Structures are given as C-alpha cells and as structure tokens.
Amino acid sequence: MINITIACIGKLKESYWREAIAEYSKRLSRFCSISFHEVKEERLPDNPNTLQIDCALNKECLQLQKKQFSNCTKYALDISGEKLGTEEFTKMISKSVFKNTEDIVFYVGSSYGLSNELKRSCSCISFSKLTFPHQLFRVILLEQIYRSFKIISNEPYHK
C-alpha cells in the first residue's frame, strides 16, 4: 500500500477543517496510508518585508526537511507550479501506485508559500491560478487524492 504524507506549515485550528481531514483520511484508508507532518509557522510582523518573509520561509522549510522522506516522489504545491487538472493529477498518482516502490510527499506552505530552495528540490504543481487559504487547501488536496483513487479503481465518484 502506498504511503502519502502531507507535509505542511502550521496546525489546523478550526474543528471543521480537522473534521473534513478526518473524513477524507478515513475514506482514503482503503487505498493508501495518509499521514501528516506539521511544523510550526514562523511569526512575522504585520506588513513584513520580502527579506523577513524569505527568512521565515527558509526556517519553515528547514523544519519540513528535517524529516527525511526517502524513496519518495516529492511535490510542492505552489500557485506558479504546473497547472494540473484531475486527469493529470490522477495519472501522476497512478504512476506511484503502479510502481509500488515510491511513496508520495506533498508539501503545503503557509499563507506565504514555500521557500524557493524547497520548491527547487521537488516537482511543483498547482491546482488552479486561484489562491486558496492553506488550511482549506489541505482538504482540497485530500479530496483530489481520494477522487484519483476512485478513478484508478474504476469506482464511481458522487458528484
């Protein structure tokens, strides 16, 4: 069974996000193992400058990278990444599923994103040109992973 890790900045504060994550994690449990690796979001002043933001992103991403993900395919979720639709995302997931040797790590940044260094070490993908709150995006990501596994398994997905 493939292992998928969502490595992200910050903790989910609101119970409704945690409930949605729990629901999709439960649905996915028959297809894959889902885990989360959360690191603390760096504090920034109101109206931070570019240098302060870059410094915070580097610190956050160093924390994310402390956990060594070996034999993994790594994807950074970034608005400037390759734009994927459901079909392309499903193909991407299915490659790892059928290889059966590589797990997947998805990096989800804070409201300021991910460091350039981390993005250079991964394939960068995007679901949309739209900007999503990073907490909501975790739910969107899990929903798309679930949808992909339903497609791979030739099972209907309720629309």
CB within 8 Å of 91: residues ≥ 6 apart: none
Write b or e for each residue in 150-159: b if 16 or more Cβ atoms lie within 10 A of its Cβ, otherwise e: bbeeeeeeee
Helical ranges in the chain per DSSP H: 15-28, 50-66, 86-99, 116-120, 134-152
Given a cut of 80, is residue 47 above it in pLDDT?
yes
Per-residue pLDDT tens for 52-100? 999 999 999 889 888 777 778 999 999 999 999 999 999 999 987 777 6
- To which residue do tokens 């990501």 refer? 141
So what's the pLDDT on residue 144?
A: 96
Among 137, 82, 92, which Cα is nearest to 2's? Answer: 92
Is 2-152 a CATH 2.170.190.11 domain? no
Q: What is the DSSP letter of 70?
A: T
Among 73, 5, 76, 14, which Cα is nearest to 36's? Answer: 5
So what's the pLDDT on residue 27?
A: 96
Given a cut of 90, is residue 126 above it in pLDDT?
yes
Percent of the chain with pLDDT over 70: 97
**Dihedral, CA atoms, 109, 113, 119, 125, nearest 10 degrees?**
80
Q: Is the pTM of this model over 0.85?
A: yes
So what's the pLDDT on residue 107?
A: 95
On whether the CB atoms of residues 107 and 148 are closer than 8 A, the answer is no
Ordered by start, the domain boundaries in the chain are: 2-152
